[in-house]
Amino acid sequence: MKRKLTYISAVIISLLLITTITASNSEPDDTPVALVKKIVKDVTHRSGQEGAWEEAKTGIPLKNGEEVRTGYKSLALVLFTDGSGLIRVRENSILHIYGENVDQKLSKNTFIQKGKIGFDVQKQEDEEFKFTTPTAVASIRGTAGSIGVTDTTTIITCRRGLIGITTQTSSGDLPGGKTANINQKGDIVITETTASEQEQHNQTEQTETKTIKIRTREGILEIDYYPPLGQGN
Amino acid sequence: MKIKNLISVKVFIILILLQVLPQTAYSQISEIVSAVTFSESKEGQPLSVRVDLKQVSQINSVTMAYRNLSDSEFKLREMELIGSSATLVIPGDEILVPTLTYYVIIQQTTGEEVAYPEGYPSMAEPLQIMVTAVSQKDKEIVVLSPAPGELVPLEDMFISISFIKAPENVDVSKTKIELNGVDISKMALVAGDLIIFYANNFPGVAKEGAQNLNIEVFDKEGKSYHKIKSNFQAAQGDYYTSLSTKFKYLANVEAESRNENFGGAAIWYNNLTANANGSYGDWELRGYAYLTSEEDKKLQPQHRFSVGINNTWLRLRVGDTYPRFPDMIMDGKRVRGVSGALELGYFNINATFGEIARGLEGSIIETYPSISALGENIIKVDSAKYGNPYAKVNLGTYNREVFAVRPSFGSGENFQLGFTYLHAIDDKNSIELNTPKENIVAGTDLKLAFDNQNIIFKTQASVSLHNSNITEGTFTDEDLDSLFKSDDGSLSGDRDQFETLRDLLGNFMTVNQFIGPINPEKLSSLGAEAELQLSYFNNSVRASYIYRGNDYQSFGQDFVRNDVKGLNVSDRIRLFDNRVFLLFGYEKLEDNLQETKQMTTFFETMNSSISYFPRNNFPNLTLGYSTFKNYNDIDTLGEFSTDDITNRISAILSYNFIAEIRHNASFNVSTSTREDNSLINADAKYTSLSLSVNSFWNSDLASFLSLTYYKSEISTEPYNYTMLSLGGKYQMLDDKLELAVYLSPSFGDYKRQSFDFIGQYEAMKNLRLIMQIRFYTISGQSANSISGLTLRYDI
């Protein structure tokens, strides 16, 4: 019961934060929360759920409430504008970026709607850095890891540092070298990161591309693509 | 290949560090060192050092000795010697405000060691460079992209600067941004607290190659608030793509032919250097080879080569390696062999195996049919070969091999416990004219950190054993019987004890009558130290204790100070947002730990300094005062007594300012007085003063001017000189040709005229031609010259 209350509190606080941030968005604050550092293939973005998806370009700033979507075999590197961390958005993912700059401190709360992201976040002082998924809230303080979201589970791998996890039924800390599997009920199962999970995590760290050049009658066709696991990098 | 002179990103960063704001010490007299160049020295950041050398054929190895103002001892690291330069990167955690004091030790092929500055320690003072503090402003204003050293595709290049953490009084819109000397401030977009410049919107502004970014931030009153420098590289997209895929590789080959003429004797050097770097995913491969006409089997190795592979958990290097273990055991000594480390975090293991000295035969000076006692260079020789059983010799050097291993537990961030074992042995068969030796060292080290590294405790302890003559090998049972047999034919009880000792230690080293230490019960071969660091309330307090017995020795570490114990305490206080630093340090050491000397000598040092780093239009300033007092525990003046006190006052100013054009200026003054009350009465006074101004007239032309005045009086013997250095660097032909000229006359007791010309021409995209001519004369000696031609090809 206590855990349930904790989770409900965390969700309410997150929602309040998002609501507050959204509300404050109406006030004039031109400072972007993040920017797109690198794009591979099909990456689009939109400003809020009502907006239309537009092609993202390298260096494009992302304001509070904007969303980033990656397509098949695509990748986006997202950099927070306070220099606190980097997110690697893997293929077929949708990421919502929220942030609030109060007293020169940028609180970040990133909602992963679906897909997989890798992150590398520096030690936070007073700022918040949270990842929210449909079943869990992960609080980050100087951590590297990855989060994968499917319709039924959230898988969080902590490579180094510590991640605080709260769900509707549980809460706990995830240290480096461990992986948490969270089901729809909010049950957390923490295990040593297996070789397969490590490989999945490593995949989120890939940021480079392969190029195939095909000589055709019309000229050279270049195909720039994000390599599948084990074939690139 | 679309990028000029691309090496690897790491090498690029080191080169850029050395080029951006080099602090160069030209103005010290030396017949071997022509310049020592440092990268920008900032607290906590790695510091690159390059020592440019003359008369390379006479040099075996180069060692850098350095210490922070609060350190009790110099750290000594062997530098990587390639061609006419020796380089070293000092780790960031060893760089502390306010100064780094250093000198250089050059070991010559004759075995003799000389120092830079010449005469150190008895006839000269060590040198200092200023270390500036990392500003809080560096955290307030952040270059988000590109990261330092990053390679970016030209068509996607953008520069982004974040002001999110900057205070209210900063005016983002007034920020001045220069890319390669071109003002791009008006081309950048200001989005709230973010500035973004898209290169694609302004074709031609950014070109491929190395990019220098200078940012100056202003407050709302228009005053300069902060300056940031950064460097990165840009490449055309197709080249960038080829770099970003599969196996990435970069290589270059450099061929040099150089003639050095000293005192009428000319020597030709022909050198070939090849570097290759590659990466595949997390794996990095690095190889280099330096082949020189100076390689000679009668000298220590002059060729250098190595191949290394590493990723986040494994490092392996074959060839010439510089492994690091706890510094009392082995710390950066060159090993020709294999070094590696497996770093899993919870368990790690470092190991090295290879040769640390090549066997070089000595020579006979004189032979004797009999002698009263063996001496340092009077040894037993093969009488059948040399006619007599004893000889006075020029001692040779044995081929010496070393093996060291250190398993450790914990990542080292908050905890690490390590155990180190080192074994070094001379190859008895490699030469004849010396006595082969052997050494083992076993040690342990521990690091604990608490409260986010605000409390750090580090300790290490090692015990050594050595054998000064392993010619006859370990005692056999018969040897022991013979040794411990009494007159009546019975064996004494000590035999069993010695046999037990032999059986125990004999598994590790040769056990015979030459094994040491002879007084282990007095902890004579123990080396230990412990250090506690506390960082609270803007104070960094450090207290350490060291103990090293008189017989502690490790063949892996040539420079451990023995026979010393004592305490060192220091406090560095940071004030006004790291703009003012106060330092107080006290140290008291003493020797004669095993009472092997007639009297004990005490060494007391007090350091104090104040530094001011305004980071605006005012010079960085450090004022220091130190006292070194050495004395004995007895009052009676005798031949070996010590009683002296040295007071040193120094001031260092550095100032980067704009007066029509950009200038970097520095001013150093140091004076010290030694009052020697011992019988030797070696009173001494030193004063040195130097001023340098580097002026950047435009992106093509820079000029350099420095003036040094040195005055000393040692035992009433005065020595004074003044040295003037001036020069300039000019780039032309679309930056393809760079010409540099330096002129440096000196006057007074050291009269020298020196002229340097360096020309670099980019003949083709990947081919660079470098010509160097140095000509100098020293009063009373014949003219000396160095002239060389280097071809460099990037693959």
B588 CB-side CA count, 13 A: 4
Residue A21: predicted pLDDT: 43
Tell me the residue range of the domain where B183 lies: 136-243
From the list B775, B738, B785, B727, the residue with the least C-alpha distance to B26 is: B727
Taking the C-alpha atoms of residue B785 and residue B195, their distance in angstroms, rounded to an integer, is: 52
Q: Is the Cβ–Cβ distance between B464 and B328 less than 8 Å?
A: no
Return d(Cα A58, Cα A219) in angstroms, integer: 27
Domain-wise residue ranges, chain A: 2-225
Quick check: is B201 in a domain? yes
Q: Do B194 and A211 make contact, defined as CB atoms within 8 angstroms? A: no
The residue of chain B with its CA nearest to that of A206 is B281
Q: Which amino acid is at A76?
A: A
CA terminus-to-terminus distance, chain B: 7
* Average pLDDT, integer, range B326-336: 92
Identify the bridge partners of residue B20 per DSSP, sorted by sequence position.
none
Q: Are residues B104 and B25 in the same domain?
A: yes
What tokens were used for B20?
């951006």
Partners of residue B142 in chain A, C-beta under 8 Å: 82-83
- CA B62, B68, B71 angle in degrees (round to 5)? 100
CA B20 to chain centre: 20
Residues of A in contact with B162 (CB under 8 A): 81-83
Q: B627 forms bridges with which residues in the sheet?
A: B606, B647
Q: Secondary structure of B133-185 in the HEC alphabet? A: CCCHHHHHCEEEECCCCCEEEHHHCEEEEECCCCCCCEEEEEEEEEECCEECH
State what percent of residues in chain A have pLDDT above 90: 13
Rounded-to-10 torsion of CA B505, B511, B513, B517: -50
pLDDT digits (tens, 9 = 90+) for B53-62: 877 777 888 9
Instruction: Report if residue B357 sits inside a domain.
Output: no
Q: Is the pLDDT of residue B174 over 60?
A: yes
Residues sharing a CB contact under 8 Å with residue A165, sequence separation 6 or more, in sequence order: A136, A137, A138, A139, A156, A171, A172, A173, A174, A180, A182, A188
- Strands B189-191, B194-198: pairing kind: antiparallel
Return the structure tokens found at B16. 């850029």
**Two tokens at B113?**
């060691």
Cβ A31–B145 below 8 Å, yes or no?
Answer: no
Main-chain phi, psi angles of B154, to 5 degrees? -60, -40
pLDDT score, position B454: 86
Chain B residues close to A231, C-beta within 8 Å: none
Co-location of B285 and B210 in the same domain: no
Quick one: which H or E segment has residue B10?
helix B9-20
- Shared-domain flag, residues B96 and B26: yes
Distance from CA of B225 to the nearest CA of A (A): 17
For B400, the token pair is 């010496």
Q: Decide if B20 is inside a domain.
A: yes
Give A86 to chain B, closest Cα distance, Å: 10
Residues comprising chain B, all counted: 795
Cα A95 from Cα A75, distance rounded (Å): 12
pLDDT digits (tens, 9 = 90+) for B411-438: 887 899 999 999 999 999 999 999 999 9
Q: Return the sign of the alpha-carbon dihedral for residues B220, B222, B224, B229.
A: positive
Residues in chain A with CB shorter than 8 Å from the CB of B145 are 35, 37, 59, 79
Does B695 reside within a domain?
no
pLDDT score of B752 more than 60 = yes
Strands (E), B715-766: 717-732, 737-748, 752-764
Average pLDDT (A124-136) is 79
Report yes or no: B158 at the A interface, CB cutoff 8 Å: yes
| Sign of the Cα pseudo-torsion (B507, B512, B517, B522, in order) | positive
Burial of B173 (0-12, 13-18, 19+ CB in 10 A): exposed
Cβ of B212 under 8 Å from any chain A Cβ? no
Q: What is the pLDDT of residue A10?
A: 53
Residues B210, B223 within the same domain: yes
Instruction: Judge if B189 and B112 occupy the same domain.
Output: no
Give CA B126 to chain center in angstroms: 14
CA-to-CA separations, B361 to B366, B395, B437, B470, in angstroms, rounded: 16, 8, 15, 18
CA torsion angle for B423, B428, B433, B434 (degrees, to 10)? 30
Closest CA to B760 of B752, B770, B751: B770
Residue B494 clears pLDDT 50, i.e. is over it? yes
Q: Nearest CA to CA, how far is B731 from chain A (Å)?
A: 33
Residue B43 host element (H or E): none
Specify if B422 maps to a domain. no
Mean pLDDT estimate for chain B? 85
Indicate if the pLDDT at residue B728 is higher than 90: yes
Coil/strand/helix, residue A108: strand
Q: Of B101, B130, B159, which closes a domain?
A: B130
Alpha helices by DSSP H, A129-210? 195-205
Query: What separation in angstroms does the CA of B197 have from each of B140, B184, B235, B560?
Result: 19, 8, 17, 53
**Using CA atoms, how far apart are residues B586 and B572, in angstroms rounded to an integer?**
12
Contact B164 A79 (CB under 8 A): no
Tokens 């390639």, residue located:
B82
Task: Give, to the nearest 10 degrees, the angle between helix B494-505 and helix B477-484.
Answer: 150
Of chain A, the end-to-end C-alpha distance in Å amounts to: 47
Please state, in angstroms and rounded to a whole number, the distance separating the CA atoms of residues B459 and B670. 35
d(CA B716, CA B123): 13
pLDDT digits (tens, 9 = 90+) for B632-644: 877 665 777 888 9
How far CA B378 is from CA of B82, B110, B370, B394, in Å, comes to 36, 19, 11, 9
Q: What is the DSSP letter of A227?
A: P
Task: State whether B166 and B238 are in the same domain.
Answer: yes
Place of tokens 């960094």: B540
Q: What separation in angstroms does the CA of B16 have from each of B8, B43, B84, B148, B158?
A: 12, 18, 19, 10, 20
| Domain-terminating residue out of B69, B101, B130 | B130
- Residues B236, B257, single domain; the answer is no
Comparing CA positions, the residue from A166, A217, A207 lying closest to residue A76 is A207
Q: What residue in B sits closest to A223 (Cα-Cα)?
A: B241
Backbone angles phi, psi at B209, to 5 degrees: 115, -165
Residue A166 · residue A130 · CB < 8 Å = no
The nearest CA of chain A is from the CA of B11 a distance in Å of: 21
Q: Locate the chain B residue with the closest alpha carbon to A227.
A: B245
Burial of A136: CB neighbours in 10 Å, binned 0-12, 13-18, 19+: buried
Predicted confidence (pLDDT) at residue B739 exceeds the cutoff of 70: yes
Least Cα distance to B61 among B125, B106, B118 occurs for B106
Pairing verdict, β B400-409 and B347-357: antiparallel
Which residues have CB under 8 Å from B249's CB, separation 6+?
Answer: B276, B277, B278, B279
Name which of A33, A35, A78, A102 to mutate to probe chain B: the one with the most chain B Cβ atoms within 10 A of its Cβ: A35
For chains A and B, CB pairs below 8 A equal 73
The interface pTM score, or ipTM, of the predicted complex is 0.72
Reply yes or no on whether the pLDDT at A26 is more than 50.
no
Q: Which of A24, A33, A58 to mutate to test the interface with B (most CBs of B within 10 A)?
A: A58
For range A60-85, the mean pLDDT: 88
Structure tokens at A172: 């706990």
User: Chain A contact for B230, CB < 8 A?
Assistant: no
How many residues appear in chain A?
Answer: 233
Q: Rounded mean pLDDT of A177-190?
A: 86
Of B114, B130, B146, the residue that ends a domain is B130
Interface test with A, best of B150, B190, B194 (most A CBs within 10 A): B194
Q: Quick check: helix, strand or coil at residue B669?
A: strand
pLDDT tier at B306 (50, 70, 90 boundaries)?
very high
* Residue B485 at interface with chain A, using a CB cutoff of 8 Å: no
Same domain, B62 and B108: yes
- Model pLDDT for residues B238-262, shown as the tens digit of each residue: 555 554 555 667 788 989 998 988 8
Closest-CA residue to B733 (of B767, B700, B769, B773):
B700
Token digits for A135? Answer: 């079943």
Which chain A residue lies closest to B193 (C-alpha atoms)? A31
The predicted pLDDT at position B464 comes to 96
Binding-site residues on chain A for chain B (CB distance < 8 A) = 29-32, 35, 37-38, 58-59, 61, 79, 81-83, 101, 104-106, 176-177, 208-211, 224, 232-233
pLDDT category of residue A230 using cuts at 50, 70 and 90: very low
Q: Is residue B164 part of a domain?
A: yes
Over residues A56-79, the mean pLDDT reads: 89
Reference B752, options B773, B729, B782, B728; nearest CA is B782
Structural domains counted in chain B: 3
Single-letter residue type at B364: I
- Quick one: tokens of A171? 């809460």
List the CATH number of the domain containing B142: 2.60.40.1220
DSSP annotation of A77 = E
Q: Which of A83-97, B49-63, B543-557 has the lowest mean pLDDT?
A: B49-63
Q: Is B783's pLDDT higher than 90?
A: no
B782 burial (CB, 10 Å; 0-12 / 13-18 / 19+) is exposed
Phi and psi at B682, nearest 5°, equal -90, 65
If asked whether residues B231 and B279 sit together in one domain, one would say no
> What mean pLDDT value characterizes chain A?
77
Q: What is the pLDDT of residues B688-699, one digit of tens each?
A: 999 999 898 887
Taking the C-alpha atoms of residue B532 and residue B498, their distance in angstroms, rounded to an integer, is 41
Q: Do B280 and A233 touch (CB under 8 A)?
A: yes
The alpha-carbon gap from A159 to the nearest alpha carbon of chain B, in Å, equals 12
CATH code of B87's domain? 2.60.40.10
Distance from CA of B17 to the nearest CA of A (A): 22
Residues B786 and B746 in one domain: yes
Would you list the DSSP string of B515-566?
A: EE-S-GGGTTTEEEEEEEEEEETTEEEEEEEEEE-TT--BTTBTTPPPSEEE
User: Which residues on adjacent β-strands are paired with residue B36?
Assistant: B25, B51
Q: Class of A2-225 per CATH?
A: mainly beta
- Are the beta carbons of A106 and B191 separated by less than 8 Å? no
DSSP labels for A4-38? HHHHHHHHHHHHHHHHHHHHHHTS-----SEEEEE
Per-residue pLDDT reduced to its tens digit, A94-116 = 999 988 877 777 888 889 988 99
pLDDT of residue A225: 54
Q: Give the minimum alpha-carbon distance from A185 to chain B in angstroms, rounded to a whole number.
A: 34
- How would residue B654 be classed by pLDDT, with cut points 50, 70 and 90? confident
Tell me, yes or no, whether B104 and B181 share the same domain.
Answer: no
Query: Would an 8 Å CB–CB cutoff place B795 in contact with chain A?
Result: no
Report the sign of the C-alpha dihedral through residues B639, B642, B644, B646, in that order: positive
